[in-house]
Amino acid sequence: MKAFVLGCSGQQLTEAERSLFRDADPWGFILFRRNVGAPDDVRRLTDALRDAVGRDAPILVDQEGGRVQRLGPPHWPRYPAGAVYGAAAGHDPLLRRALAWLGARLIAHDLRMVGINVNCAPVLDVPVPGANDVIGDRAYHADPAVVATLGRAVAEGYLAGGVLPVVKHLPGHGRGNADSHLALPVVDATLAQLEAHDFVPFRALADMPAGMSAHVVFTALDATLPATVSPTVIGGTIRGAIGFDGLLFSDDLSMQALAGSIPERAAAALAAGCDIALHCNGDLAEMTALAAAVGGLAPEAERRSAAALARIHAPEPFDPVEARARLETGLANPGALANS
């Protein structure tokens, strides 16, 4: 089992993909909108991915709600962006937390039904005025304490539904001055500002089983390298100051914030301290080059992987019809839910 996650090109595996996955044996797979048809089609694809590697490999997706939702209408409902939960029931923080849990539990139900058991969420980034809007309403709130509270509720909702949460983007993307899909963000905040603001939700959720790095340069931490490929940021800040010991994925290697070839990016991320390199675009040539360059999980990554996967369990009892009605009522009229 190699230390990367791969995507695929469409809604069905090609023979070339099957052959590559069988030989490369990636840790897991990730799906995007290009891979999503009707529910039965998604289930066939997740079954085929696991069959290609001959084991119950983890299958990831980004299903945050709002702008970042890979499974959507007509087969799945639209879920609110994170900021909707942050703005809901403003005078009742317990109700706001309950709504966030409910939305996450419903997403987990949807994902498990089609064979997906890892969700790259919650977003723990804390936005600041003037930052690039790549995070924007994906963030729960501008108050780090509220982000921490709602992020934990969401993570617990996923876990209750048998889905592993991946907190992102360590150590914080909320100040980014660019979209890291397109360019390299540089954050010039002081260490004191980062510790008092950006790091707060990640410290509060440092016990989470999995996380994802940020392709962001923090000049107060490492003036030249983005966090994903910086031993200083991963070792000193993510593992050290924040205290996160969960399984650490790189953000997508094919994003333009990173320099070098795909194999070079993977090697740099793994050498810096990421446990697993994430490659999402499904490009066969890139995946083949990556498979030739990356080996198995390091011993610490093996330990973290086992600990994370042990958190995936059978979903707790749940009535999705009743829960969806409660979520819709609560978002539209929080008082009605509070009095029910």
Kindly write down the DSSP assignment for every residue of 290-330, as one continuous string. Answer: HHHH--B--HHHHHHHHHHHTT--PPPP--HHHHHHHHHHH
In single-letter form, the type of residue at position 109 comes to H
Q: Where are the alpha helices (DSSP H) in 191-260?
A: 191-193, 200-204, 231
Q: Which of 133, 181, 188, 313 is catalytic?
A: 181
Helices (H), 25-92: 39-53, 82-87
Q: Residue 246 CB: number of other CB atoms within 10 A?
A: 25
Instruction: Collapse the DSSP code of 90 into the 3-class scheme (helix H, G, I; strand E, B; otherwise coil) and give the result.
Output: coil
Cα angle value 163/64/326 (rounded, 5°)? 80
Q: How many Cβ atoms from other residues are within 10 Å of residue 333's Cβ? A: 12
d(CA 279, CA 222): 24
Burial class (CB in 10 A: 0-12, 13-18, 19+), 253: buried
β-bridge partners, 6 = 29
CA-wise closest residue to 184 among 125, 237, 132: 132
Dist CA 171 CA 202 (whole Å)? 7
Q: Which of 67, 58, 66, 64 is CA-nearest to residue 28? A: 58
C-alpha neighbours within 13 Å on the C-beta side of residue 297: 20
Cα–Cα separations (whole angstroms), residue 154 to 140, 143, 167, 276, 279: 10, 16, 10, 23, 25
> Which is catalytic among the residues 251, 252, 275, 279?
251
251 is known as an active-site residue: yes
Please give the Cα distance from 201 to 146 (Å, whole number).
8
Which positions are annotated as active-site residues?
A: 181, 251
